[in-house]
Amino acid sequence: MARGGYRKPSEPAPASPPGSMSRRTDGGPAKPVQPMTGMPYGENADFNEMQSAAPQGATSGPAVNPMPMQAGGAPPNPLMSQSARPMEPVTDGSRIGPGQTPADSYVGAVGEDMRMIKEYLPDLEVPLMWEGTPKTYRMLVAYIRNL
């Protein structure tokens, strides 16, 4: 009987790097079917059948919550819960539909900043009297003055 040569793996996987970066390429032990709770009568069996049809590989570590809660924070609202802001349009913050657009909020923030900057306009105009003040600075002060 001939030995050696290529042996096709039963569950092929990509090649693993050598050394400390190596990992299993045979798929490892399969995870057990985890029953789902809270489903209507009869649908849990369908879900279990789907899970057993395509067994998943074992995880490399403990399960990690993808959305960890911050200390003292409230849990997130369920997807289909009532709105916390019923008077605000769904399209608020988008470029289309009723509600405030991103440009509106930008203009509001810039307007507040410009009012604050105008208070310092007399101090900003002092360098205009100096020789060698850059043209771009002169243009900036003119822009602020004309707002």
CA distance 34 to 63: 13
72: which 2 tokens?
């003292």
Question: Reduced to 3 states, what is the DSSP secondary structure of residue 147?
Answer: coil
pLDDT at residue number 131: 92
Report d(CA 136, CA 133) in Å as an integer: 9
CA dist., res. 73 & res. 66, Å (int): 16
Structure confidence by residue, pLDDT tens digits, 86-126: 888 888 878 788 887 777 666 666 777 888 888 899 999 99
Residue pointed to by tokens 């539909």: 97
Which are the contacts of 65, defined by CB distance < 8 A and separation ≥ 6?
Answer: none
Beta strands in 53-109 (DSSP E): none
pLDDT digits (tens, 9 = 90+) for 4-48: 777 776 665 567 777 777 776 665 666 666 777 777 777 777 777
pLDDT at 47: 76
Q: How far is CA 81 from CA 39, 70, 85, 86, 88, in A?
A: 19, 21, 12, 12, 15
CB 68 within 8 A of CB 75: no
